Structure formats: structure tokens, C-alpha cells
Amino acid sequence: MRSFNYHKPDTLDAALALLSGNDEALPIAGGMTLLPTMKQRLAAPEDLVDLSGLPGLADVAMEGDILVIGAMTRHADVAASPLVKEKLPALANLASRIGDQQVRHRGTIGGSISNNDPAADYPAAVLALNAEIVTSKRTIAADDFFVAMFETALEPGELVTAIRFPLPEVAAYMKFANPASRYALAGVFVAKTTSAVRVAVTGAGPSVFRASDIEAALAESFDATALERISIDASELMSDIHADNEYRANLVMVMARRAVALAQQSG
Amino acid sequence: MQISFSLNDEPVTVDVDPSTLLSDLIREQLSLTGTHVGCDTSQCGACVVHVNGDSVKSCTMLAVSADGGEVRTVEGLSKSDADLHPMQIAFRENHGLQCGFCTPGMLMSAIDLVKNNPDPNEAEIREWLEGNICRCTGYQNIVKSIIAGAAAMRAAS
């Protein structure tokens, strides 16, 4: 990889100052995506701003009825957190199945959602749970955050500091993982609250999206049988070496039914 | 830039370019070649070491990220051939390796597993080894080795 100037600020303000107005600077959290990208020289920042020295960004806590997870919390820590397991077990379960254990020891939730890989797991949870993304300058609703493939509403130099998850009545995530990379070929997160059902799909399209037909069917009857007559339009889904769009469309429905069944069991 | 950390319980201070990977620092500058680089794309797990007690892929971590921390490589598991770690003995006794290329990573992952889960079952071992690829043995004897190694580690503790 090309060399760079390495910075490890110890305050958020210092990190923001290093990133501000510098198009050649990139922040790094766990580096599980950025470092491989830099090795391939698809990214070659002049300045790398390591966020691992910032205090207070890896806390997990309840604020009222909201589960707040700091952006630098590692996947392994979300998976193992007694609080997450108690309050939002579907999220702990999702985190425990990202990549492999060594990746989960480095990768962070903030890094994952900021990268918005079309096959990443966390964006499905954030979108289905109607979470709020807290950044260094504002709070962004999940519906507004994930814009397109590898693109979010974050402005240059803006950093995610925490994700705020309202607690659902029941929720579950099921994915069909690529057996080599563990990325989702299709992953479906289903969340039911007292007022609504939200369903987010990852891995299948160019970016995470809500499946409105599935949501409508489940709002009428929150049961896997409610999805038997539903299918989703394959024309907007991805085709690649791993799976074509028709196959992904079928997988989405299979994962949706399984997620609903799992949510019913755990609820 | 200059970084300092503990490597296999010994303090080290080295000058590294910020773009140096931890695996390259360990192998090229510090000459500990037990840590292997197989794929260099965080898939195969031959490069797994412990950083601050957790197993990580050293090919996908900057050396500067280890500054101030504790790193343990496969060389840090035992002082001599006569004094092998229980997990190393278990791999030897259960034919847990053939060519040996993946073995350092397998050992470091396995020992981290047992730290988190002292009595893992076969499914838990296979799940934990998701990020360690072996192209010789088909994993059967690796799983057997880890079950035996975990038992030996429990007995020793």
C-alpha cells in the first residue's frame, strides 16, 4: 500500500480538525474494509486518522428506552454484551455472525454503517429497527442515512459517534451467507413494534432497502405464512459470480420467512 | 515513526513506516517467521496473532495500531521444544497438521477460543475456525486436536 501520514488524535475535535477540508484524509476505525482497499490501492489517503484513541465511543448503554451503541464498539463486543443480548438479542446474534471471529475483534459498527457495503449485515438492522445515527454534527434517521452502494448521507469529515436503537417488540435477522466471505448473499432483518413492521434487506440489492410488500403483508399478519404469496421484483437486484438476481429474489423471501419464524420464537 | 509494545512478554521499540502491516513488522523486521502470510486478504487466518489478548489477523492490521499494546505470536506459546503449550502438544498427538502452513494461525485461534469457551463442542470449534483455512487435513484432526487441547488446558489451569 502507498504510505501516508498517520494520526491518532485523542479527542473527537482533534479528529474532526484533521479531517476538515482535507480531501486526501480518511478516517480509519477497525480497518477491516479500508485496509484491504488500501492494499489494492483502491484507496490511497495522504493522511490516515485513526479513531481508536477517541474516548467514550465504544460504550453500550440504555438511555431510557433506547439502546445506544458507540460507533467504535467492535462486533465481538456487541455480540458478547449482556445488555445487547438482553435488550436486543437479534442485534447480538447478527453481530456474532459477521465475518469471522478475528474480523469481529477489529471491525466496528460505526465503520460498517459508514462504509455501507451492499452486503454488510449491520445496515439491515439499523434500517429495520428505525435507528438514529448520531454524528459529529447532527442526528440522521436510518431511512435517510443509506443513500446508495458505499454511499451514505455523511458529509466529508463527518463522523458517526453512536447509533440509537429503539427496542422492538420482536425482531430477528436471517442471512444466507456466502460460504467464503460470510457476507450476505441475502439478509433480512424483521422488526415488529407496537405500531409497525419494518423489514430491511441487505446483500441482494445495490444498497440496503426496505421491502414494502413484505412489510405490508406482515403488518396484516405477523406470521411466515403471510409471506407465502409474496414475491419481490428481481429486476432491481444484483447479479454476480455468486448468485443471479432471480436466485437472490428467492433467497430474500426464504430469509424473510425464516426471520419471521425466528422472531416469533424469540418473542 | 517509533512504536513500542510488548512482544511475547518482551518490550520492543521499533521504527516503522505507518503503512507497515503488523504481519510484515513481525516477520521482516523482527524476524519471527512463525506467523505466516497466506492470502494477505484476511481470509485464510495463517497470520493470526493475539493483540491485547484477542486473536486478530495481523495481515489486516497496521503495525502502528499495536503501539502500547501486547502482541503474542506462535513463538510466544512455549519457551522450547521440550516445553510446548498444551494446544501444540494436542496438535502433534492428534495429527492436527500436515504441511503445517496454517498451523500457527490455527493454534492462536484455538487458544483464543478456549480462553472464551473452556469446553467448546465440535460445532463451536468449527464456527470459531471460520476464519482459518487449512488445505490439507479437511479439519477433522484439527477439531480433534482442539478438543484435546482444550481438555489439557482445563486440566492445567
B138 band by pLDDT with thresholds 50, 70 and 90: confident
Q: How many domains does chain A have?
A: 2
In a domain, A119, yes or no: yes
Q: Are residues B146 and B87 in the same domain?
A: yes
Query: pLDDT digit string (tens) for B53-105?
Result: 999 999 999 999 999 999 999 999 999 989 999 999 999 999 999 999 999 99
Residue B17 at interface with chain A, using a CB cutoff of 8 Å:
yes
Residue carrying the nine cell digits 459470480:
A241
The ipTM value here is 0.96
Quick check: A31 and B62 CB within 8 A? yes
3-state secondary structure B10-71: EEEEEECCCCCEHHHHHHHHCCCCCCCCCCCCCCCCCCEEEECCEEEEHHHCEHHHHCCCEE
User: Taking 60 as the threshold, does the pLDDT of residue A267 lie above it?
Assistant: no
| Residue type at position A231 | S
Distance between A127 CA and the closest CA of chain B, angstroms: 27
Task: Please name the member of A36, A38, A76 whose beta carbon is closest to the beta carbon of B42.
Answer: A36
Q: Are residues B56 and B85 in the same domain?
A: no
Query: Do the beta carbons of residue B31 and residue B40 sit within 8 Å?
Result: no
A214 band by pLDDT with thresholds 50, 70 and 90: very high
Beta-bridge partners for B49: B56
Mutate to test the interface with B, among A7, A100, A175 (most CBs of B within 10 A): A100
Residue B61 at interface with chain A, using a CB cutoff of 8 Å:
yes
Chain A interface with B: residues with Cβ < 8 Å: 1-6, 8, 31-32, 35-36, 38-39, 48, 50, 52, 76, 99-103, 105-106, 180-182
Q: Are residues A90 and A148 in the same domain?
A: yes
Closest Cα to residue B113, out of B127, B97, B92, B103? B127
Q: Are residues A140 and A9 in the same domain?
A: no
Task: Please name the member of A5, A39, A101 whose beta carbon is closest to the beta carbon of B131.
Answer: A101
Chain A to chain B, count of Cβ pairs less than 8 Å apart?
Answer: 70
* Domain CATH code at residue A37: 3.30.43
Rounded average pLDDT over A128-155: 98
Query: pLDDT digit string (tens) for A19-54?
Result: 999 999 999 999 999 999 999 999 999 999 999 999
Helix (H) or strand (E) holding B3: strand B2-7
Q: Are residues B69 and B98 in the same domain?
A: no
Contact list, B64 vs chain A (CB under 8 Å): 6, 8, 50
Task: Please name the member of A5, A31, A182 whose beta carbon is closest to the beta carbon of B60.
Answer: A31
Q: How many domains does chain B have?
A: 2
pLDDT for the residue A182: 84
Query: pLDDT digit string (tens) for A64-84?
Result: 999 999 999 999 999 999 999
Query: pLDDT digit string (tens) for B108-137?
Result: 999 999 999 999 999 999 999 999 999 998
Residue B64 at interface with chain A, using a CB cutoff of 8 Å:
yes
Residue carrying the nine cell digits 489517503:
A45
Cell of A109: 459498527
Average pLDDT, chain A: 96
Distance between A103 CA and the closest CA of chain B, angstroms: 7
Contact list, A182 vs chain B (CB under 8 Å): 130
In a domain, A242, yes or no: yes
A156 band by pLDDT with thresholds 50, 70 and 90: very high
Task: Please name the member of A31, A52, A101 whose beta carbon is closest to the beta carbon of B128.
Answer: A101
User: A203 — alpha (psi -120 to 50), left (phi > 0) or beta?
Assistant: left
Query: Do the beta carbons of residue B8 and residue B72 sit within 8 Å?
Result: yes
In a domain, A54, yes or no: no
Mutate to test the interface with A, among B130, B133, B139 (most CBs of A within 10 A): B130
Q: Are residues A75 and A150 in the same domain?
A: yes
Task: Please name the member of B55, B60, B130 whose beta carbon is closest to the beta carbon of A32.
Answer: B60
For residue B28, give its domain range. Answer: 2-77
Rounded distance between C-alpha atoms, residue A4 and residue A18, angstroms? 14
User: Taking 60 as the threshold, does the pLDDT of residue B45 lie above it?
Assistant: yes
Q: Are residues B73 and B102 in the same domain?
A: no
In a domain, A157, yes or no: yes
Q: Are residues B73 and B86 in the same domain?
A: no
Residue B19 at interface with chain A, using a CB cutoff of 8 Å:
yes
Q: Are residues A128 and A23 in the same domain?
A: no
**Length of chain B measured in residues:** 157
Q: Are residues A97 and A177 in the same domain?
A: yes
Rounded distance between C-alpha atoms, residue A120 and residue A110, angstroms? 12
* Domain CATH code at residue A82: 3.30.465.10
Cell of B19: 503503512
Residue B65 at interface with chain A, using a CB cutoff of 8 Å:
yes
Cell of A246: 432471480
* Domain CATH code at residue B108: 1.10.150.120
Contact list, B62 vs chain A (CB under 8 Å): 6, 31, 35, 50
